[in-house]
Structure 1
Amino acid sequence: MRIPQEIAETIVGPKAYGENKPVDDAFSYLRREMPLAIAEPEGFDPFWVVTKYDDIRTVEGQNELFHNGDRATTLVTKEGDRMVREMMGGSPHLVRSLVQMDNPDHMAYRKLTQSWFMPQNLKKLEARIREIARGAVDKMAAKGGECDFASDIAFLYPLHVIMEILGVPEEDEPTMLKLTQELFGAADPELSRTGEQEMTDEQRVLALQETVGEFIAYFSEMTKDRRAHPREDAASVIANGQVHGGPLGELEAMSYYIIVATAGHDTTSNTTASGLWALAENPDQFAMLKKDPSLIPNYLDESIRWATPVKHFMRTATADAEVAGQKIAKGDWMMLSYPSGNRDEDVFDDPFSFKVDRSPNKHVAFGYGAHVCLGQHLGKMEMRILWEELLPRLDSIELNGAAELSQSNFVCGPKHVPIRYKMN
């Protein structure tokens, strides 16, 4: 079954994700009419689009049958794929992080830092994270009742937390933010490296290669330093770690730094900004949360579901299979659409409404199965602490102009949330 061309073009178009509604409408149609079907947008190899919550979990729960690393793990055009393979000696990946790995590598590399991001270890960081959160809230209070919550608060708070954990000095945080935005916002004229309104596949791949190159240059120096002078930070774990009886491969080590330094804050920033935007647009929900702070954990899960910052990952079938009655052939490429799964009417009551007391809320924004987000506990802890500090001091909030989303079909969230507010 082939998806209508207009819908196929919408679900791959960065601009559509920047507007939200076209993508929501497209996925709503697909869930209803063709929940698992083939898209063939212009310039792309054909791929299956998995739109239903249960089907996404089915694919993610079978890691041997549906691989991450055999083809590109994020959606890429034919020309983009050709260029990356040419640059990388046949590999479809510019980086090789946990996201691009299958077992046995995936589990071996994940174990290196897994304990760092587990709740029992994170407890040790809580006091310091609260200190950083209070600083962010004080900064917001000092702005006199108006700010861009995305760029002034939501981008910077999780960035500072993850950079402390990684071991990046504070003066380098602006560089890390800029490179992260270039990596995830490569299709957004405001965030991209080139600032071009429209980019060809070649320009985009070359810009991404330059951004990755800057990350690698930075973390190569950090690796040398941490091998000579190990510290109590995640960078030292990566620099001195052992996998399969030897040190990490150079590409794998650099990719490990990059995923911690980017995904470690950007998705949390997106969710924090989205959650506040939703409260500004839904005063009744803000009032409910303000009246009952015990709803903060529910509110966080709803913010994560609402934002779903990671829009998709791709999987490749390693053998002939069947999903939701459709025959998937060995080698077929599949797009797992997380925003669609998180708006699935069969799982979520009134999915297009933001409800701070939604329960249960078993969203798929962190993925599912072996590849579930390594930093999920840290992200939720950061957001919980921020709201425990901000909520008692925030008396009112409203939008102060149009909020804007970044343009990306991979990782996307608010880039501007102008607000007017009163704090005590």
Structure 2
Amino acid sequence: MPEADYIPERLGRLIASPKAYARQKSLLAGLRWLRANQPLGRARPEGFDPFWVVTRHADVLEISRQHQLFHNGDRPHTLVPRASDAMARALAGGSPHPIRTLVHMDEPDHTKYRRVTQAWFTRERIRSLEQRIRAIARASIERMAARGPACDFVRDVAIHYPLHVLMQILGVPEQDEPRMLKLTQELFAGEDEDFGHSGDVGSDAARHTRRLLRLLDEFRAYFMPLMESRRDDAQDDLASVIANARVDGEPINYFEAVSYYIIVAAAGHDTTSSSISGGLWALCQDSHALRQLQDDPGLIPKMVEEAVRWTTPVHHVMRAATADTELRGRKIAKGDWLMLSLLSANRDEAVFEQPERFLPDRNPAGSAVFGQGVHVCLGQHLARLEMQIFFEELLPRLAFVEIAGPPRRSASIFIGGPKTLPIRYRIN
């Protein structure tokens, strides 16, 4: 591999450091430098297999659309240390994935399993849930009003609202939501010290892998009885759809079914709560933008897209090349690992004017978070509607809001966002 293909070591370390995602300033500056000077380069941080870092919006979209050339399932779907990958493969019979969800599948399996729930996530089906979602949003805002004049918006409001929506759709009893919240927060906590982790993804790979496997066992322990109950007594919920699905004419097997439950429960609310929190954080910093939205609620759908872009709750995804190819003059070999940096793509100056600014009236230019091609996010319409409804209900009643303490982001390489957002406010 030519030495010119490698990015500066300092940037490789930043990209592989959970703490860098919590602070972001140095990381975003490094990604900006890469977009300008080395938009496709190879990183080799200590403890990790080398990987290509894809930083430009156009390249991220191009690779995402070429699902036959760049696979999800051949190597880990997220950046993990070499030792963690080896341990996971040893425990999973050679597979890099301890669970097998849509994001870990390639064709033809991906489409077969996507069809299981696709009808539940169409724009039309999601719109039919609008009144139920709006009632949940109003109840959340009433609790926020009662808690005022101050709260931690993330912990007291944002993490609970989309969780409650999704658990209703899935069919999880309300009394079990705290258990689901605990498991999903731990699953996506990265190496955040506030969750009892070391803060260094490479410091103890075996311990981190064992923690992940323990969490997955806890998810299985919850969802297996739920699946059995829905097979015996199907109801009008997503849990019943998954439990009674057939793939290739046969009942869905337990491993894939439980994996399905885990990805719906976990990914379905965490990213939405992060984007809601990120949106309010931005509005707290810009009273003009807040007034603009209050004066013209028709801008809220655009503001939702901007909140997703500005927050970028999914920082990256990984792909593996299935054949020798070339991109930006670089020779990518079969089996090479590529990081699609969504955090960088959503700050790309070639696509977004003043990308570091939060502009609620920005014309949507295609945030990279929801993906492209066959792997476009199944729950994107639900996430957008939840966010739109929440801000439609909150903003007309929000007489005043300001940041009341230092907001903090989670230390997570993969999925992350605001973990604390102390605010003072008055709700009419």
Residue correspondence of structure 1 range 208-247 to structure 2 within 5 A: 208-247=212-251
The one-letter code of the counterpart of 1:23 is: L
How far apart are the structure 1 equivalents of 2:390 and 2:417?
19
Could you tell me how far 1:283 is from its partner in structure 2? 1.2
Q: Tell me the equivalent position of 2:286.
A: 282
Could you tell me how far 1:195 is from its partner in structure 2? 4.8
The DSSP-based 3-state class of the residue aligned with 1:48 is strand
Q: Tell me the equivalent position of 1:73.
A: 77
Tell whether 2:168 aligns with 1:167.
no
**Greater shift in the superposed pair: 319-328 or 15-24:** 319-328
How far apart are the structure 1 equivalents of 2:40 and 2:319?
14
Matched-pair contact (CA < 8 Å) for 1:150–1:416: yes
How far apart are the structure 2 equivalents of 1:32 and 1:108?
40
Could you tell me how far 1:115 is from its partner in structure 2? 1.0
Tell whether 2:207 aligns with 1:207.
no
Q: Tell me the equivalent position of 1:304.
A: 308
Task: Give the fraction of aligned pairs with identical amino acids, expressed as a percent.
Answer: 51
Q: Tell me the equivalent position of 1:9.
A: 13
Residue correspondence of structure 1 range 24-423 to structure 2 within 5 A: 24-191=28-195, 194-196=196-198, 200-423=204-427
The DSSP-based 3-state class of the residue aligned with 1:232 is coil
| Cα distance per residue 1:218-266 (max 9 Å; x no partner) | 1111111111111111011111100111122222111100000011100
Matched-pair contact (CA < 8 Å) for 1:186–1:208: no
Mark the CA change 1:251 to 1:143 in structure 2 (over 3 Å): closer, same or farther.
same
Detail structure 1 runs of 4+ shifted over 6 Å in the superposition: none
Could you tell me how far 1:196 is from its partner in structure 2? 4.8
Could you tell me how far 1:422 is from its partner in structure 2? 1.5
Matched-pair contact (CA < 8 Å) for 2:226–2:239: yes
How far apart are the structure 2 equivalents of 1:90 and 1:339?
31
Matched-pair contact (CA < 8 Å) for 2:23–2:409: yes
How far apart are the structure 2 equivalents of 1:3 and 1:252?
38
Matched-pair contact (CA < 8 Å) for 2:190–2:414: no
Give ranges in structure 2 of 5+ residues lacking alignment: none
Could you tell me how far 1:322 is from its partner in structure 2? 1.4
With the length of structure 2 as denominator, give the TM-score of the two structures.
Answer: 0.97
Mark the CA change 1:284 to 1:126 in structure 2 (over 3 Å): closer, same or farther.
same
| Cα distance per residue 1:154-187 (max 9 Å; x no partner) | 1000000000000100111111111111111031
The one-letter code of the counterpart of 1:124 is: S
How far apart are the structure 2 equivalents of 1:125 and 1:279?
27
How far apart are the structure 1 equivalents of 2:208 and 2:261?
22
The DSSP-based 3-state class of the residue aligned with 1:359 is coil
The DSSP-based 3-state class of the residue aligned with 1:190 is helix
Could you tell me how far 1:197 is from its partner in structure 2? 5.5
The DSSP-based 3-state class of the residue aligned with 2:415 is coil
Q: CA RMSD in A?
A: 1.0
The DSSP-based 3-state class of the residue aligned with 2:129 is helix
How far apart are the structure 2 equivalents of 1:37 and 1:197?
26
| Cα distance per residue 1:191-216 (max 9 Å; x no partner) | 3xx45565511111100110011001
The DSSP-based 3-state class of the residue aligned with 2:424 is strand
Could you tell me how far 1:144 is from its partner in structure 2? 2.3
The one-letter code of the counterpart of 1:253 is: A
How far apart are the structure 2 equivalents of 1:122 and 1:55?
31
How far apart are the structure 1 equivalents of 2:186 and 2:251?
29
The one-letter code of the counterpart of 2:307 is: S
| Cα distance per residue 1:314-347 (max 9 Å; x no partner) | 1000011112222111111000000100000011
With the length of structure 1 as denominator, give the TM-score of the two structures.
Answer: 0.98
How far apart are the structure 2 equivalents of 1:73 and 1:61?
16
Matched-pair contact (CA < 8 Å) for 2:76–2:318: yes
The one-letter code of the counterpart of 1:404 is: R
Give ranges in structure 1 of 5+ residues lacking alignment: none
Matched-pair contact (CA < 8 Å) for 1:84–1:91: yes
How far apart are the structure 2 equivalents of 1:182 and 1:212?
11
The one-letter code of the counterpart of 2:269 is: H
